[in-house]
Structure formats: C-alpha cells, structure tokens
C-alpha cells in the first residue's frame, strides 16, 4: 500500500512516532530507532542483497511477535553466500542505504565498520549507521555474523510495519528453533560466567509465546552445539537450574531491565521455565534418542 500524499511526510512521521511513544510507553528515541530499522529492512528487500542477509536475534523475535516483547537497538543478520570482508561489507551497506524505497523523507549513511566476535573462527562485522528525518538524527547499528547453521533453514517472512501506510518488508529470517538454540548455546558456553541476561529472559518469554516442534528444536540445538564446539555435560541442566543460588548471576538479574511494559519475574521462575522447556529435549539429545514432542506455549508443556 502506497503512503498517501502528505505535504511534509517527515514532520508527519515524527509526529506519529511521538504519539506512538506516548501510547505504548516506549520512549521516543526507541520508536525512532525502530522505524529507522524497519526502513533499513525495506531497503534491504529492494536491494540486490536480500538473499545474503538473514535477519536474526532480538529484532527478528520482536518483529514476528508483532512488536510484543523486548525491543532491541541493533539489527542482527547472518551473512551467507558472501565474504565477510570488512571493506566489502561497508560498500554493500552503503549500497543498501542508497536503495530507493520512495520514502524520500528519510536518508541513511554508514558511519563506520568494525570486527566483532573475535573469539569465533570467522569474526563478524559491526556497522554503525545514522538515519536522518528532517533535523532528527537516528543512530542504530547492524551486526553481521557468519558461519552459523539454521535449522530447518531460512524462512521468508513479511514484517509488520510500525506505522500504517508503509510497505511491509519481505525478507529472509532465522528459524525460531535456531534462535532458541543459539540462546541456549550462549548460556551453556559460559555457564556461571554468563553475563547476557537477555538470553535467559528470551528463552523464558518466547517459550510462552510460540509453539515448537520438538524434533526440529532438538536438531537445532544439536547442530548449533556441534558447529560451535560447545561442550555439554549430563548435569548441565541441573547446574543451570541452580543458577539462582549464584550471587553474581542473581545480581545481574536484579539489575536487568527487559524493556518497557514487560514484567520481570524472579530469577528462579525464569530458570524453572528454561528447565521445563529445554530439559526434555536436552535429555533426549544426551541419550541419542529422537524427541517427537510438541511444545504448547498456551499450556506451557510438552505433549
């Protein structure tokens, strides 16, 4: 659907985003960033690189839930069928930013690039961008990872818009199963040295929003752990369940803010939910059995 003719579209969008911030409780700067990220996805779809960048992470989860849950300030992608050369990626990002979406009131520029995740075999690339609507500057970042596995595969999805009247981006995204698997991997890899409370929260939250096919989730967890070389033990889930007794992790959780309008349960409840969701799948993986359960988010149980 084309945007109807408005004399000053930039001013109109800024006004609508201010209204949205007031109505949703999400601060204005976050609403600006989310709109800029959405416009970036529109540019990506219309560029020649839509097949190469697969949306993942918090932005993926936030968009497929129709913007319920935890908003995120950066966009994560997995790069495929292309080199992770920093200079080359800067050129690609500049091309995407210059792609015409017929939304002339907003422009984008690349501020800089950097290598990220140096501990991985193939480091990722971080890109700092700036969007402009009239005299308003909107910074946001894009993080690009490489050499990960997606089970069962990338999915093409239509992303709902934040404001009515704009084209809905149609892009490739991660699977839910691989998203949960990577968050579990992050916890398992660091164990009591974990500092990313969002991984705990996201498994807790999204397991109560989406249904999962056990066999696919099991394969996603197995492939992710194998691909990343993450060690796992028979008692790993028991250790995770006891994290609420760890003073360091409990303090991190107490200081964690999941986002505006989101309730934060106690850490013990989060760990119980992770155990309920992951343990049956993990146990079958350890036994080298196939797990065919179906997870019901409504009933919060494997069937």
Under DSSP, is residue 138 helix (H, G, I), strand (E, B) or coil? strand
Structure tokens at 260: 């505006």
Per-residue pLDDT reduced to its tens digit, 266-296: 999 999 999 999 999 999 999 999 999 999 9
| Low-confidence residues of the chain: pLDDT under 70 | 1-5, 69, 118-122
Report which of 111, 114, 113 is spatially closest to residue 131, judged by C-alpha positions.
Answer: 111
Domain 9-174 bears CATH identifier 3.30.460? yes
Q: How far apart are CA 6 and CA 27, in angstroms?
A: 25
pLDDT of residue 5: 67
pLDDT of residue 1: 45
pLDDT of residue 118: 61
Instruction: Provide the residue count of the chain.
Output: 303
pLDDT of residue 151: 96
Domain range list for the chain: 9-174, 177-302
Does the pTM surpass 0.85? The reply is: yes
């Amino acid at each position: 659907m084309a945007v109807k003719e408005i004399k000053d579209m930039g001013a109109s969008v800024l006004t609508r985003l201010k209204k949205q911030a007031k109505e949703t409780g999400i601060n204005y700067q976050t609403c600006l960033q989310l709109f800029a990220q959405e416009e970036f996805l529109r540019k990506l779809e219309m560029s020649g690189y839509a097949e190469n960048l697969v949306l993942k992470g918090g932005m993926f989860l936030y968009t497929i839930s129709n913007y319920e849950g935890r908003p995120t300030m950066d966009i994560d992608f997995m790069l495929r069928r292309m080199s992770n050369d920093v200079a080359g990626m800067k050129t690609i990002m500049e091309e995407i930013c210059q792609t015409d979406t017929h939304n002339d009131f907003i422009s984008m520029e690349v501020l800089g690039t950097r290598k990220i995740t140096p501990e991985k075999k193939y480091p990722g690339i971080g890109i700092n961008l700036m969007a402009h609507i009239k005299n308003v500057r909107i910074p946001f970042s894009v993080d690009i990872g490489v050499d990960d596995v997606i089970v069962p595969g990338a999915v093409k999805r239509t992303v709902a818009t934040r404001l009515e009247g704009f084209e809905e981006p149609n892009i490739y995204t991660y699977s839910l199963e691989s998203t949960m698997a990577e968050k579990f991997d992050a916890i398992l890899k660091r164990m009591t040295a974990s500092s990313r409370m969002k991984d705990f929260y996201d498994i807790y939250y999204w397991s109560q929003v989406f249904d999962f096919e056990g066999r696919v989730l099991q394969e996603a967890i197995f492939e992710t752990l194998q691909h990343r070389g993450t060690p796992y033990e028979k008692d790993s889930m028991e250790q995770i369940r006891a994290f609420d007794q760890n003073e360091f992790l409990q303090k991190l959780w107490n200081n964690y803010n999941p986002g505006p309008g989101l309730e934060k349960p106690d850490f013990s409840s989060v760990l119980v939910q992770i155990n309920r969701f992951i343990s049956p799948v993990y146990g079958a993986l350890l036994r080298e059995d196939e797990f065919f359960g179906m997870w019901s988010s409504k009933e919060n149980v494997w069937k």
